[in-house]
Every structure is written in C-alpha cells, then in structure tokens.
Structure 1
Amino acid sequence: MELREIEIFLALAEELHFGRTAERLHVSQARISQTIKKLERQVGAPLFDRTSRRVAPTPIGARLRDDLAPAYRQIVGAVARATDAGRGTGGVLRVGFEAPGVADLIAGVLDTYRSRAADGEVEIREADFADPFGLLRAGEVDVLVTLLPVAEPDLATGPVVLTEPMVLAVPARHPFARLDSVTLDDLARDTVFRAARPAPPYWVEPPEPWTTPSGQPVRRGRPLATFQELLAVIAAGEGVCPLAAHARQYFARPTIAFVPFRNAPDVRWALVWRRTGRTARVREFAERARTQAGPSSGPARG
C-alpha cells in the first residue's frame, strides 16, 4: 500500500464523497475510484458502501481508517520536519566556537547573516576545550568555528572567517616581556606549554624531539587540562605558550605579557560542519561568511 493510496483512502473516509475527495486532492474521480478498488482487492473485502446517494465506510473500512490515520499523520509530520531541516527553515542556526572570543571578532559575519537570511536567528555555543568537535558531532550545533587545518572524514571545511597573527604568552617578569617581538627560534629558550587536548596527527604538533626552525630543541611543558590552567602556569613563571593574537584583549592580566611573533605563520579560523548536516541554513551562512571574509590564502594552523 503506497503513501498516496493511503492519502486517497483517508481523504475519502473523511469526505465521504468521490467528487469532493477528487477536488481536494487535485485528481480525477476515476483515479479515486480506481485506487479504492485496488485497495479493496488487496484487502479482500469492501472498504466503502457506495450507492447513488451515499458513501460510508464498511466496518472493515472504518477499522482500517482508524488504524492508518495516526501512522499516516506521523509519517507526514516526520517528512515535513526533515524537509524543514534540509531547507534550513523552522529553527535557529546554532554556531559553536572553539574560542568564544572569536564570536566577537566575526560579529560582522553573524550580523550579516541575521539581517539577510530568511531565518536569521543565531544561537552561539562554546565548544568544549578538550573536545572541540564534540558538540558538532552530537548534532548540538550546526556549524563550528575552529582552528585549521581540519581533516576529519565526517567533517567538511568551509571558508576562513578570521586570520590573525600569533603572540607568545609569557610571565610578566620574563625577559621576553621587555621585547618588541620574538621568533620561533626563541621558543628554545624556555619551557613551552600546550594545553592538553586530543590532537589528531595532522595538526601542527611537532614530533619528538620538538625543534625550532633552526633546529634547536624545545622543552615541552607538562600536559594541562584547561585554558585557565594554562594561563595559571604561565603567570606562575613555569613557561610560555604561543597563542592567537586576540588573547591579548580577551585574557589580559597583570601577571602575563603577550609578545608578538615575527615571521611566524598566522592562525586561521574557519567554518566546519558535518558532511551529513549541510542544510540550506548552513550553506547560506557559509556563503555570507565567504562573501564578507573575502578570499582565503589557504588553511593553516598556528
């Protein structure tokens, strides 16, 4: 029994008139009659008593109507909800951020989407520092703003939305704090921390032994669980850490100095979404971001 046949049967059971049913479904009366006869052959019994003056369901027809109607409504509702999700309607765009401060830095992209999209509501979520892709994979956000590169088989990478230089976070009394800038080779002069997180091999995580561009070995700091813990050990004088430049404004404190790098790769933030979750809403947001951010020089992770 096909869905269209069920629709015709239920419509006739409600209208109790072949002409009105045909008009309601925009088909011919002959199509209605043929469909009912087909269903009756399939069931093996009449579904409607038909005379020149009235149409009424038989007891079997009434039972079939009562059994089919709830299931039919559930199927139609499920298809409608899936269609709304696929077209990007009927809800908000949920955007996750690996670094919450980046939401402020790309406020123009968010505002443009809100003002021009057909359904421009945006909900911002903070991604787990230890598992930045978790919310995305769980379906709790539609798109994630994260550091590049991303080479996960289930995730697709969209346009770069922000490019910024790196700075070196050092204790306020560190000799580097008095410098105008540092180089990657300067990392060999202290212990360098990186916050602990499940790092895939394609991220720029230097192999052992970790060396600077000139080949000097770099001492790794102990693993750290959170970003606030990272800042605490830097402030305590235990070491230094390269960060994206927006850290100077968002994590400023008297116990830490942020020294610019020179001749170091930029940090790039881009949109990422599930390959199976590229709805019209996600496509439109990516297009707004691509148009506003302009062409990218390519993915890189600082």
Structure 2
Amino acid sequence: MGGTERSVPPRMEAPMNWQELETFLTLAEELHFGRTAERLHVSGPRVSQMIKALERRVGAPLFERTSRQVVLTSFGRQLREELDPHHRGVLEALARVTDSARGLGGVLRVGFSSPLASELLMTVVEAFRTTHPNCEIQIREVHLSDRINPLRNGEIDIQFIELPVDEPEIVCGPVLLRDPVVLAMSSEHRLAQRETVSLEDLADEHLLMIEGMPGYFIDRHFPVSTASGRPIRHVSTTTYWQELLALVAAGEGITIAAAQGTRYYPRPNLVYIPFDDLPPFEYGLFWRAETASAKVLAFAQTAQRVAASFSAVR
C-alpha cells in the first residue's frame, strides 16, 4: 500500500484478576507474606506471583521488600486507599443479596460499652424489632480492656462503643452519641471543690487507667502531658471500671471519664468535675467489613435514624 500508515489496535490487557486484588489488600494489611498466605490459604510463592502480576499491570512497585520488612510504596498506599471502599462495597453487596435470599431472620449479636450507650441501644433494638420481627437480638457488654476482640473473633456482629477504633478490618459507622468529659476524683482531692478543670490541672497527677486499652485510644483520651508540656503520669491498674473507681474514691489517683458517670456511678466519696478544654467522648457503631450482613447494615441504618431523635445526643 505504498507507505500508507495502518493503525494498530491497542493490545488488550488480560481481565482484572479478583484474586490479585484480594492478595494485595491482605498483604497491605498484614505486611507479611507468610501471614498473608495463611489467611488466603495459598502458598507463599502464590502470594508473590499475584503481587508481581498486579505490579506489572499497574506499571509500578506496590511494596518495598527487604529481608526485615515489607512496606507499601506511595503507589501501594494510593491503590489501597482507592480500592478499600470499592472492595468493601462488593462484600456488602454480596452480603445484602445473600441475606435477601435467606431473609433477615436469625440472630444478631450486639455489643455495647457504657450505660448511656445501652439506653440508646435498647431504643434502637425496639425500633429494629418492629421492622424485622424475625431477627432475634442478643445484647452483650463490651469491656474497655477488650474492646475489639469479641468483634474480631466473631462473638459479636456489631457493637456500640467509644471512638476511636483504628483497626484495618473494622468499619466505623457515623457518630451516634456524644458525652462530655469529666475528671473523677476523691472528694478529698485538691480539685474537688472546683466548678471546672482543665488539662493543665492534671500535671504531676497519677492518672489511673484501665489495662489493655489500645495505644491510639489512650493517645486520644489520656494525654501524657499538658499543653505546656508538663507530664501527666499514667498508671494502669485494673481491667474493671468499678474497681478503678474504687481506687479513685480511695485517693489513689484520678481518672478521665464520661459525664454519664455522675448518673450511673455515683459514690458518696467520689466527685466528677467537667473539663472546660477537652472534646466530648463520641460513640459509634462498628462491624467487621468481611462479615457485614444485611442484618448488620439494616441495624446500623435503624440506629442512625433513632439516634437523630435520642435525647442524649448533644
């Protein structure tokens, strides 16, 4: 054809492999090839093969591998951030269709962490039972010392606890409840006659805490220093809230608590003083992304609707 240029159709890429994406998201969470292989029930070489195939498809490395660690590259972090909501959406869509086929019956196990949360929770349960009478609701208390394991281990389907929860496999719903922060202390404490306290007042105090709380939760609610940099000494004492309050009332230290304590945990030798410079505790619903069911999602929607008119929301 004498020099006539012919257009060449673009080379067709192989269809996207769902297993590549599952492998990538699991490795991005574990950052360990062996644990990733165990979770996916495949061999270590198969994990490497899937990741290399995805990296060829993307055209850039997604992980930096050394003999000591595996870390996401900037491209890997971008891919995880953009994939997560879509991956979660696919899992939730499958859960909704599956439950639609099976019905919304069965059992829904719901956890809570505080008395005020339980009040709202019971209102939500009543509303949910009205629209889903075939679903049995089982309620269980979740302790501060073990906030996530019951959900992670499948003992609970959805739980209503304090924020934050910073766990890669856990989905956080909207904030449903807020409660002001107070300082709990013995009635003989030097601050017991104050109308309000500030974070600066905690300098050099012994701040008693529940054992087993995750670091990110402590960072949010139990500062290690005041705004001016003066230290606040942390003391982990017990796994039970009532025991901690007994120690506070005995003058062993102070603790940071939600204002609901004045109503649910009054003691003659215990005083609760509001903070004037700390944000309130926030409570929300949490569930596992991989096991989200239509019952879980329906309960979360009901809770959001009920919470909008719940008198304790502030």
TM-score band, normalised by shorter chain? 0.5 to 0.7
1:72-221 alignment, distance < 5 Å: 83-84=98-99, 89-119=104-134, 121-188=136-203, 190-199=205-214, 201-205=215-219, 210-221=224-235
Give the distance between the partners of 2:153 and 2:279, measured in 1 at CA: 32
Q: Do 2:186 and 2:251's aligned partners in 1 also have CA atoms closer than 8 Å?
A: yes
1:262 matched to 2:276: yes
Distance 1:150 1:87, change over 3 A: farther
- 1:249 deviates by 1.2
Indicate how the Cα distance of structure 1 residues 222 and 124 shifts in structure 2: closer, same or farther if over 3 A, else same: closer
Contact 1:100 1:126 survives alignment (8 Å): no
Amino acid at match of 2:212: R
Aligned residue type for 1:225: T
Shift of 1:242: 0.5
Scaled by the length of structure 1, what TM-score is found?
Answer: 0.63
Partner AA of 2:141 in structure 1: E
> Cα distance, 1:88 vs. partner?
5.8
Query: Unmatched 5+ residue regions in structure 1?
Result: 1-81, 296-302
Q: 1:250 to 1:174 in 2, by over 3 A?
A: same
Quote the residue 1:44 is aligned against.
none
- Shift of residue 85, structure 1, vs aligned partner: 8.9
1:162-210: CA deviations, max 9, x gaps?
11111111002223221111111111152111111141x4324279992
Q: Distance in 2 between matches of 1:157 and 1:292?
A: 17
CA offsets per residue over residues 86-139 of structure 1, 9 Å max, x none? 856231321111235420244333322222335454221012442111221222
Instruction: Kindly provide the amino acid, as one letter, of the partner of residue 221 in structure 1.
Output: V
- Distance apart, 1:236 and its partner CA: 1.0
Q: Which has the larger radius of gyration?
A: 1
Aligned amino acid, residue 193 of structure 2: R
Please report the TM-score for the alignment, with normalisation by the length of structure 2: 0.61
The aligned counterpart of 1:280 is 294
Percent identity among equivalent residues? Answer: 38
Q: 1:90 to 1:214 in 2, by over 3 A?
A: same
The one-letter code matched in structure 2 to 1:247 is G
Instruction: Compute the displacement of 1:240 (Å).
Output: 0.5
Q: Separation in 2 of the partners of 1:170 and 1:122?
A: 37
Separation in 2 of the partners of 1:158 and 1:247? Answer: 25
CA distance in 2 between counterparts of 1:207 and 1:148 reads 10
Letter in 1 for 2:226: T
Alignment of 1:232-243 (within 5 A): 232-243=246-257
Hey, what does 2:259 align to over in structure 1? 245
Rounded to whole Å, the distance in 2 between the matches of 1:207 and 1:104 is 23
CA gap 1:179/1:283 in 2 versus in 1, 3 angstroms? same
Which is further off, 285-294 or 151-160? 285-294
In structure 2, relative to structure 1, the CA distance for the partners of 1:209 and 1:249 (3 Å cut) is closer
* 1:168/1:243 contact within 8 Å kept: yes
Separation in 2, partners of 1:109, 1:125: 15
The change in CA–CA distance for 1:123 and 1:216 in structure 2 (over 3 A counts) is: same
The list of structure 1 runs, each at least 4 consecutive aligned residues, that deviate by more than 4 angstroms after superposition, is: 82-88, 206-209
Equivalent-residue separation in structure 2 for 1:290 and 1:154 (angstroms): 21
